[in-house]
Amino acid sequence: MKRWPSIVLLLCLFAGAALALPSPPALAQSAQPDQPLADPVLEARARQLMKDVRCVVCQAQSIAESDAGIASDMRKLIRVEIAAGKSDEEIRRFLADRYGDFVLFKPPFKISTALLWAGPFLLLAMGAVTMVLFFRRRARAPAPATLSAEEMRRVTAALQGEPEPATRPTHGSGA
């Protein structure tokens, strides 16, 4: 029975190691074959948007930096839609409707993403509350009592090695 905390610990360690395993090496950056838009302003908007869209194949990369075929298709789509006068928001919604909010690096605030957005602040608040409670409790703890004059005298006497007449047991044998 005493063994199971160590088993849990071991499991945690294993899980941590599995998470820390190196992911497959990122593909070397290759020149993007995509044709940029002629209008530099629109092209800049398209590039900005590409950084915000997750590649659905590689998932850790944005489509701006991914070499996957589907990422290239999405870049093309973004350029076509921007050239057609669509707003960034419309394009984001188009992609999110088909691939889910996951496809956006900044997902919209919804019930399902609330924890994602609020989580860090929630943790911070929990930490703050814990700290306040901790310090309050310390402040409320009774201050160490000061010694009375009589106690002080006895302590000094004890420190100086003098025998304490009142408490010292007497055996009647004399000093």
Nearest 5°: the CA angle 45, 46, 50 is 120
Q: Answer for the pair 39, 91: CB distance below 8 angstroms, yes or no.
A: no
Q: Answer for the pair 104, 54: CB distance below 8 angstroms, yes or no.
A: yes
Question: Rounded to an integer, what distance in angstroms lies between the CA atom of residue 16 and that of residue 20?
Answer: 6
> What would the DSSP string read from start to end of 47-116?
HHHHHTBB-TTTSSSBTTT---HHHHHHHHHHHHHHHTT--HHHHHHHHHHHH-GGGBSS----TTTHHH
Least distance from other proteins to the Cβ atom of residue 25, Å: 16
Least distance from other proteins to the Cβ atom of residue 98, Å: 4
Least distance from other proteins to the Cβ atom of residue 18, Å: 7
Q: Nearer Cβ to other proteins, position 67 or 154?
A: 67
Q: Nearer Cβ to other proteins, position 73 or 90?
A: 73
Q: Nearer Cβ to other proteins, position 39 or 73?
A: 73
Q: Nearer Cβ to other proteins, position 17 or 175?
A: 17
Q: Nearer Cβ to other proteins, position 63 or 64?
A: 63
Q: Answer for the pair 175, 165: CB distance below 8 angstroms, yes or no.
A: no
Q: Nearer Cβ to other proteins, position 109 or 134?
A: 134
Least distance from other proteins to the Cβ atom of residue 45, Å: 20
The contact set with other proteins (CB under 8 A) reads 8, 11-12, 14-16, 18-19, 56-57, 59, 69-70, 73-74, 76-77, 96-100, 102, 133, 137
Least distance from other proteins to the Cβ atom of residue 83, Å: 15
User: How many Cβ atoms from other residues are within 10 Å of residue 136's Cβ?
Assistant: 10
| Radius of gyration in angstroms for the set of CA atoms belonging to the chain, rounded to a whole number | 35
Least distance from other proteins to the Cβ atom of residue 107, Å: 12
